[in-house]
Amino acid sequence: RRLNHLGQFRVYTRQSTTYVEPMNDDCDMDGAWEAMKKVFGVVGLSRARSCEKDKDAILACAKEFLDDQLRAARTFKVETKRADKTFPMTSIQLSQYVGGELHEAYDNLEVDVHHPELTVYVELSYYSVYVHTQPQPGEVREDAAYVHGPAESAAGGLPLGMGGSALSLLSGGIDSPVASWMIAKRGVALDMVHFFSYPYTSLEAKEKVLELARLLTPWTGRLTVHVVPFTAIQEELRRSCPEELFTVIMRRFMMRIAQEVARRCGAKALVTGECLGQVASQTMDAMLVTGAVVDLPILRPVVGMDKEEIVQIARKIGTFETSILPYEDCCTVFTPRHPRLRPLPGEVEFAEEKLDIQALIQAAVDSIERVQV
């Protein structure tokens, strides 16, 4: 799916290695490279060139394909993986041959088998397909070898879906997109929920959140954002609840609604961007009270991180610049002057007795807008 818009590719796995190969010359190989770097479960990527399964053809391929790297390095070695045991040379013999010839051909190179600057990899697959096709595209060959340099780091983590599914509370800030990304990296498929308080928050603020979701899709795949109208609940809390408890009661409503949305979409956990001690609603006491209203597990992947650590990840995944756009989300609406840092469960429950909790939740859930990104 990640490659569909970049051309026709053959994707297959042989002996724990996945091969992504173009079917014709129209494929965007640079785009495919960038797309594959964002697929969770892929630890490393290598650009490879195929050639005949012959020692001199392999040597010529290494000289052509890795010439720039060979000229830039001072030390090197050759490693061979020989899945095809019918090849007349052992792995060590082929490595010695290719390494010896490269040493002769490049005056700047010295052999260092322990700590080389450059490792040249040769793979003799039992089944293979052309990377740069000369015959008809997709022709299968059993006499091809691959030559490549060191792998580059990719997304890592686990393939999406292996960790189950969860619902992430997505605000317009820095933390929640990072939390969503971190949980997706553990193989968790996500839906998103966003609480929208129009007209106290603007339509631009809503579009900002949808853009954050779009920026996550290269990592997470397609997303559904459940946009919850939250204005009526916040106005009722302002009328009926003590000001110092407003934020914690508001977050309890968010958790209740999120759990209802999660059950409707089959999610098994909730994900938040809460970071311990960062704001008044993220003290240990406050998180205990807000989490007490749901039965689903609450995953808080950034809970122990410093803000700068979160910002570094936000920059890496491309969400930071959007997150800092000056459009406020619903958490900034009716912010109390002196929020309670250590709310007690009993006093919060007493304050909620004036509210028709189920009616407020039902009205919000019934009016959810679902946006596919």
Spatial separation of the C-alpha atoms in residues 262 and 264, rounded to whole Å: 5
- Judge whether 153 and 285 are in contact, CB under 8 Å: no
For residue 229, count other CB atoms closer than 10 A to its CB: 17
Residue range 5-19: average pLDDT? 88
Residue 345: CB partners within 8 Å, gap ≥ 6?
288, 289, 292
**CA atoms within a 13 Å half-sphere pointing along the CA-CB vector of 26:** 5
pLDDT, tens digit, for every residue of 249-296?
Answer: 999 999 999 999 999 999 999 999 999 998 888 899 999 999 999 999
- Judge whether 279 and 176 are in contact, CB under 8 Å: no
Of the chain, the percentage scoring pLDDT greater than 90 comes to: 84
Match 């596919």 to its residue by tokens: 372
Residue range 2-7: average pLDDT? 93
Query: Given the DSSP bridges, would you call strands 165-169 and 270-271 parallel, antiparallel or unpaired?
Result: parallel
**CB burial string 268-280: b at 16+ within 10 A, e below:** ebbbbbbbeebeb
| Local structure of 149: helix, strand or coil | coil
Residue 177: CB partners within 8 Å, gap ≥ 6?
170, 212, 215, 216, 273, 314, 317, 319, 323
Mean pLDDT, rounded, of the chain: 92
Return the higher-pLDDT residue of 299 and 16. Answer: 299
pLDDT, tens digit, for every residue of 164-209?
Answer: 999 999 999 999 999 999 999 999 999 999 999 999 889 999 999 9
- Judge whether 363 and 232 are in contact, CB under 8 Å: yes
Q: In the beta sheet, which residues pair with residue 278?
A: none
Residue 308: CB partners within 8 Å, gap ≥ 6?
none
- Judge whether 212 and 170 are in contact, CB under 8 Å: yes
Distance of CA 174 to the CA centre of its chain: 15
Q: DSSP class of residue 340? A: -
Spatial separation of the C-alpha atoms in residues 277 and 290, rounded to whole Å: 15
Q: Is it the case that residue 138 has pLDDT exceeding 50?
A: no
Spatial separation of the C-alpha atoms in residues 322 and 215, rounded to whole Å: 9
Residue range 49-53: average pLDDT? 93
Spatial separation of the C-alpha atoms in residues 179 and 272, rounded to whole Å: 7
Q: DSSP class of residue 158? A: B
Spatial separation of the C-alpha atoms in residues 250 and 339, rounded to whole Å: 12
Residue 203: CB partners within 8 Å, gap ≥ 6?
none
pLDDT, tens digit, for every residue of 325-355?
Answer: 988 777 777 787 888 889 999 999 999 999 9
Q: DSSP class of residue 151? A: P
Spatial separation of the C-alpha atoms in residues 331 and 209, rounded to whole Å: 13
Q: Is it the case that residue 143 has pLDDT exceeding 60?
A: no
Spatial separation of the C-alpha atoms in residues 358 and 263, rounded to whole Å: 16
Give the angle 193-194-198 at the CA atoms, nearest 5°. 150
Spatial separation of the C-alpha atoms in residues 57 and 53, rounded to whole Å: 7
Residue 167 zone, left/alpha/beta (φ > 0; ψ -120 to 50; rest): beta
Q: DSSP class of residue 332? A: G
Residue range 357-367: average pLDDT? 97
Spatial separation of the C-alpha atoms in residues 80 and 147, rounded to whole Å: 9
Q: Is it the case that residue 142 has pLDDT exceeding 50?
A: no
Total-model pTM: 0.87
pLDDT band at residue 83, thresholds of 50, 70 and 90?
A: confident
